[in-house]
Structure 1
Amino acid sequence: MKKKVAIIMGGYSSEYKISLKSGTVVYEYLDKAFFDAYRIHIFKDKWIYVAPDNTEHLVNKDDFSVLINNKTIHFDCVFNAIHGSPGEDGLMQGYFELLGIPQTSCDYYQAALTFNKRDLLSVLKAYGIKSAASYYLNLGDTIDEDAIINKVKLPCFVKANKAGSSFGISKVHKKEDLQAAIDNAYKEDDEIIIESFLNGTEVSVGVIKYKGETKVLPITEIVTENDFFDYEAKYEGKSKEITPARLSKIQEENVIKAAKKAYDVLKMKGFSRSEFIFIGDEPYMLEMNTTPGLTTESILPEQAQKAGISLGDLFKNAIDEVLQ
C-alpha cells in the first residue's frame, strides 16, 4: 500500500517563497508508484492542503489530518521542505514528535541548535571544528564599535543569528557602516553574530543519511560576482557553483572529515548542507542548514546528482530512512 506523505512548505520567515519552490519540486519528483503526496502550506494565518485543482482544505492542527470529501486523511510521514521557522528551528519537529508522525529532517534539538549560528559553532568548537572570531549582540545591548572592531577586525560580517538565505547579512568595510549593518540584521532577528572576514575558498558540503550510512556528497565551490554569497548571488545568478570543487587532496580530505564529524557528533539525520571557508588547508565552518534548498538548481540536489543519486531517489531515500 502506498504511503501518504505530507510535504510541508512555506513557513513564517523571509524564506517562504524559496520553500514553496523546494516543496513543489519534491511533490513533482516524488515517486507516485510508492507515495501519495500532499502539498501542505504552512503559514502563520493558515495551514492548508492544496489539492491538485488548487482548492484549499484546512489542516486540523490537533492531529495534523485533512478532511477531503468527507474522508479524513492521516499521514504516514512528513517531508519537511520549510526553510527557516517553523520548519528549521525545531518547532515543527517537536510538534510531529508529540503526534508520533515521522518526519524527514533532523530532530527538534538538532534543528534548534543548528538554526542558532552562535550556539552551533560554540558546540562544534569542542570537537575541533574551527570557526571565525566572533562578537555577539542582543537587541538592546550597548553597541561598542571599538570593542567589536578590536575583536573581529575589518572587514567583518554582521549576521542575523537565526536566519537563512543570507537575509540580514552585511559585509562591513568601514567603521561608519557598522551601525547600519547591525540595524539591518535586527530586522531578521533579535540576536546578532559579528564575524571576522575569512579570505579563502568558500565551499558547500552536503551530508545525508543514505541507505543507513552517513554520506558526504561531492563538494561545491562557491564563486560569487558580489562582495559575498548574498541573496542575489544565491538565487539571481550572481555566482558560479562548481561541483566538484577545485580543492587540493588535503583540503578535500579535511573538509569531508569536518562535515561528517559535525553531522555524526550532533546525531543528525536527513539532509544537511554546511558552509566552510578555507584558510590554507583548514576549513572554517560558517553555518549548517538542515532543510537546504531542494529546487532543481539548488546546491544539495546538484551534489546528489553528481553522486549518481536522482532527485526521485534522493527524496524516496529520505522517507525510507525515517519510516524504517
Structure 2
Amino acid sequence: MVKVAILGAAGGIGQSISLILKKHPLVDELALYDIVNAPGVATDLSHINTKAKVTGYNGVKELDAALTGADIVVVPAGVPRKPGMTRDDLFKINAGIVKGLATAIAKNCPKAFSCIISNPVNSTVPICAEVYKTYGCYNPKKLFGVTTLDVVRANTFVSECKGLDVSKTDITVIGGHSGTTIIPLLSQIPGVNFTESQIKSLTQHIQFGGDEVVKAKNGKGSATLSMAYAGALFVDKLLNAIVLNKTVTACSYVESPIAKADGIRFFSSALKIDKNGIVEYVPLGKLSEFEQNLYNECIPQLKVNIEKGVNFVAQSKL
C-alpha cells in the first residue's frame, strides 16, 4: 500500500497534481491537505473511477493525520509568484510555511520521500534539511527539490527548435531552480548542434519560462499546470523506484557532492534513485565554455540562496 500526501492540495499546482496522481496505478491512497478546501477537492477527485482512495484534511489540526503513514510527501504549498516578483521575493512568505510543514513531516512520516515544490526551491530545500536535522531524521537521499519543470521546458523548447521527437528527448539541467541558476546542458544532447544564437535564446527561454507564464496570465496566476505535470512526472519516477523496485534517473535539487569543491552543499543534477533514495550522483561530464560560464555565475547565487534557508531555521530557534 503506497500513500502519497500532498500539502497545499487546494491550490493551483496542488489540485492539478492531485488529479494526475489519482489516475496513477501505483498510488493506493492520496491524502490531500490544505488550510481550507482540501475536503472539497478530495470529494471531487474521489468520484473518479481509479483505485486510489482519496481523503481530505483541513487546517493544522488535521495535518498530522494527513501525513501519518505517507511514503511520499509532495509540498506545493505557499504563495505563487505575481508580476515583478522573483522566487527570492517569495522567501519571506513561503519560508515559514515550509518550515512548519517540514516539522510535521519530521514528526509523522520521517522516513518518507519529500518532494519540495514550494519556491524558492534553492532556499526551501535547505530549510527542510535543517528542520529534519533538528528532529534527528534527516536523510539527504530522500529530500528532493523538484526541478523537473526545467527539464520539461528544455525538452519542449529544444524539440520545437530542432524538430526532435519530444517524447524521446531528455535533457540534463543542472544548478538551481531560479533564473540564471538553471543550466541546461545543451552541448550534451547526442547528435544535435546549435548556433551560438540558438544556445543563448534557448537557455534564456528555459531559465525564464516561469516569468513568461506569469506575464502571459496577466498577474492572475503562475506556472501551475506545467509545474503540476512536471511534479507528477517526478513522483512517477519515485513510485517506480519504491513499488516496482526499479532504479530510475531524474534531475533534482538535493544535498550533493557535485559542486562541493566550490562550496555548494545543494545542487541540481542527474541522479540515480532506488527504493532507498539516491544511489548515485551522475557526474556532469564536459561542459561547453558557455555552460561553464553559467556554472561560474550560478555558484555565488546558490551560496546566498542556501545560506538564506539555513539561517532562517537557525534564527527561528533563537
TM-score range, shorter chain: 0.3 to 0.5
Greater Rg over alpha carbons, structure:
1
Higher helix content, 1 or 2: 2
Q: Which is strand-richer, 1 or 2?
A: 1
Instruction: Name the TM-score, length of structure 2 as normaliser.
Output: 0.36
> Could you tell me the TM-score, scaled by structure 1's length?
0.35
